[in-house]
Amino acid sequence: MIIITALKKFYLQFQIYILIIGGAIGAWFIAKSMGRKEQMQENYKDKMKEHEKIAAVEIVKQNKQNEAVVKAVTNSNEIKNENATLSDDAAINKLRDKWTRD
């Protein structure tokens, strides 16, 4: 009982200081958590920028691959069309001339 009475007396005597210290500690924790949230947002933005760069590189790669496929198909179609107008012997001779070894 004496201890409780002593604590009440201590609290009443230093109440304003206890409240100021408690408020300062609370403000510090709030500021710390706000800073942590801001840092997490910055990290998220940085990661998104990195993912966008990677995606852009992948898109460029895919476009180059698609261009190569289109070019190969176009060349193949051109050769088919050229050979379709030739007779069999002329087409065979033309292909043989292109593929002879040196």
- CB-CB contact of 18 with 11 (8 Å): yes
- CB-CB contact of 86 with 94 (8 Å): yes
For residue 102, pLDDT beyond 70: no
59-89, pLDDT tens digit by residue? 999 999 999 999 999 988 887 887 677 777 8
12-49, pLDDT tens digit by residue? 888 888 888 989 999 998 888 888 888 888 999 999 99
The greatest distance separating any two alpha carbons of the chain, rounded to the nearest whole angstrom, comes to: 120
Tokens representing 102 are: 């040196």
For residue 101, what pLDDT band results from cuts at 50, 70 and 90?
Answer: low
Tokens representing 57 are: 């590189």
